[in-house]
Amino acid sequence: MRKKAGIIRCQQTEDLCPGTSDFLVATNGSHAFEELGPTEIVGFVSCGGCPGKRAVTRAKMLVDRGADAIVLASCISHGNPIGFACPHYEQMRAAIERKIGAEILLLTYTH
């Protein structure tokens, strides 16, 4: 059975990046998606803007809509494409982990 994931992206980079690479690596099961294999995206949402508090409830929403994994896009963790990672990344990641629980995989980058 094909795995399903929800991707959370940085709101500040959405006008610079349409997410094309995120969808490609998920579909192909490459990069961060290697352990899942080819993956269907059930949702592609932003963090809601700094400091990313909305990412927590959005992660839960994606799980409620069928996501087996939550993925923080590379714009959050690595700063792609602008070279500036989210200063709230660690706190956001920890809060999402607490909300979704250990049974849902949390990937920390896309490509």
Q: Name the residue ranges covered by the structural domains of the chain.
A: 3-107
The answer on pLDDT for 63 being more than 90 is yes
The pTM for the full model equals: 0.95
pLDDT at 14: 87
The DSSP symbol for 18 reads -
Mean pLDDT of the chain: 95
Tell me the per-residue pLDDT of 73-110, one tens digit each, with 9 for 90 and over.
Answer: 999 999 988 888 999 999 999 999 999 998 999 999 99
Provide the token pair at 1.
């059975």
* Average pLDDT estimate for 51-64: 97
Tell me the per-residue pLDDT of 7-50, one tens digit each, with 9 for 90 and over.
Answer: 999 999 988 899 999 999 999 999 999 999 999 999 999 999 99
pLDDT at 1: 78
Residue range 3-107 in CATH 1.10.132: no
Spatial distance between the Cα atoms of 14 and 12, rounded to a whole number of angstroms? 6
**Residues whose CB falls within 8 Å of the CB of residue 42, separated by 6 or more in sequence, listed in order:** 4, 5, 6, 62, 65, 66, 67
Torsion angle (degrees, nearest 10) of CA 13, 17, 21, 22: 40
pLDDT at 54: 97
